[in-house]
A = this chain, B = another copy of it.
Amino acid sequence: MAPRTRRSQRRTEALSRERIVEAAVELLDTAGEGGLTFRALTERLATGPGAIYWHVANKEELLDAATDGVVAAALAAERAGSAGRAERADRTQPAESAESVQSAESAQSPDSPQDKIRAIAFGLFGAMEDHPWLPTQLALQLSRSPWGAVTPQIFESIGRQVRALGVPEGHWFTATSALVHYILGAAGQNAANNAAARTLAPDVDRAEFLDTASKAWKELDPDDYSFTRAVAAQMREHDDREQFLAGIDLVLTGITALHLPSERGGTPPPAT
């Protein structure tokens, strides 16, 4: 069969930065990071490269815009709260996993700051699952301009909940940074796992992939990798979402300890 030309002669809508970024995201999603070229883009948009350069400075800016857009959408969807869970109904929500490490207090109000932090994290987690190129591009953008468009958005979303948590002001920056770093690191690693699973064995399902990886771990050198070998079974058993949540709860527990100095007198926070 002929190479399927995706609706080439659609010149109805005028070219715009929006349409270009949208096409870029589609291309990244379907063809991977290597699939986004100006030639592929011009074909898909039925124009010449010059037209694209009229709306976008260069490829870097295009990738940044794609990254920004996808992250903003994820944060906005989650900010809408338990109400507008549009076009994400399939996604399993936090779900109060049975295994989850409890952060001291027992009964929390249904939409506690903790829950909201989990929700935000899940939103990003899901976005990275939908767009496997996102973690890499996030990393690239961060190394280009760390306080560019994306980080402040995430930082602010998480920070507000940290504040609501009652963390002493002197620790806001530390606590929020720690959470954001964990979330970006964990979500990125996870998306990477998924991408690898898809690439290495597109036909094989997740469980089988984990099984293979687990077996590989068990065959590592006993001297050099005693711990990794010991933990191979756990890694086969683990569920990505539970694992991710458990990590968040771990950090949340640490943060909570900042203003609940247990019985013995902890160092009083240096109120700025």
A residues at B contact (CB < 8 Å): 99, 101-102, 104, 132, 135-136, 139-140, 142-147, 152, 155-156, 159-160, 162-163, 169-178, 180-186, 188-189, 191-193, 195-196, 213, 216-217, 220, 224-228, 230-231, 233-235, 238, 243, 246-247, 249-255, 257-258, 262-263, 266-267, 270, 272
Contacts and interface: CB of A to CB of B under 8 A. Distances in A.
A267 B101 CA distance: 8
12 contacts: A101-B171, A101-B257, A144-B192, A152-B228, A155-B228, A163-B227, A173-B231, A177-B247, A178-B182, A180-B185, A181-B182, A234-B272
Given A191-B143, A196-B146, A156 B216 contact: no
Contacts of A155: 227-228
B225 A152 contact: yes
Interface centre among A178, A189, A226, A253 (most CB of B within 10 A): A178
A251 B146 contact: no
A171 B243 CA distance: 10
Contacts of A250: 174-175, 178, 251, 254-255, 258
Nearest to A172: B231
Contacts of A162: 227
B267 A257 contact: no
Contacts of A145: 196
Contacts of A171: 101
Contacts of A228: 152, 155-156, 159
Nearest to A157: B227
Contacts of A191: 143
Nearest to A238: B173
A136 B143 contact: yes
Contacts of A233: 272
A177 B243 contact: yes
